Amino acid sequence: MVIITSISQILTYSFGIFDVTKIFYTITTREFKYSFIADFLPLPRIQATYLEPSMLSPFLIGFYSMYLYNMINKRILEIKYLFIFVILFVITLFTTSTTAYVSLLLITLIILFYANTFSLIRSNIVVKLNLIRNLLYITLTLIMFFFIVSFVLNLNDIFKIIELYLFKKQNTQSFYSRTTADIHAIKLFQETYFMGVGLGSNRPSSLLPYLLSQLGILGSLLFFFFIFKLLIFTYRTLRKSSFFGYFFLIPSVLIVQIIAYPDITNPTLWQFIYVSIIIATSLYKGKNEHEHLH
Segment 199-221, tens digit of pLDDT: 877 888 889 999 999 999 999 99
Per-residue pLDDT at 178 exceeds 70: yes
Q: Say how far apart CA 229 and CA 203 lie, in whole Å.
A: 27
Long-range contacts of 172-180 (CB under 8 A, 24+ apart): 177/205, 178/205, 178/206, 178/260, 179/205
pLDDT of residue 203: 81
Least confident of 45-49, 135-139, 210-214: 135-139
pLDDT of residue 159: 67
Q: Give the pTM.
A: 0.81
End-to-end CA distance of the chain: 44
- SS3 helix, strand, coil % of the chain, rounded to 5? 75, 0, 25
Segment 50-92, tens digit of pLDDT: 888 888 999 999 999 998 888 877 765 677 777 888 888 888 8
Please tell me which of 39-43, 132-136, 261-265 the model is most confident about, judged by mean pLDDT.
Answer: 261-265
Contacts of 218 (CB under 8 A, 6+ apart): 195
Query: How distant is the alpha carbon of residue 99 from its chain centre?
Result: 9
- Percentage of the chain modeled with pLDDT above 70: 70
pLDDT of residue 226: 95
- Percentage of the chain modeled with pLDDT above 90: 26
Q: How confident is the model at residue 117 (pLDDT cuts 50, 70, 90)?
A: low
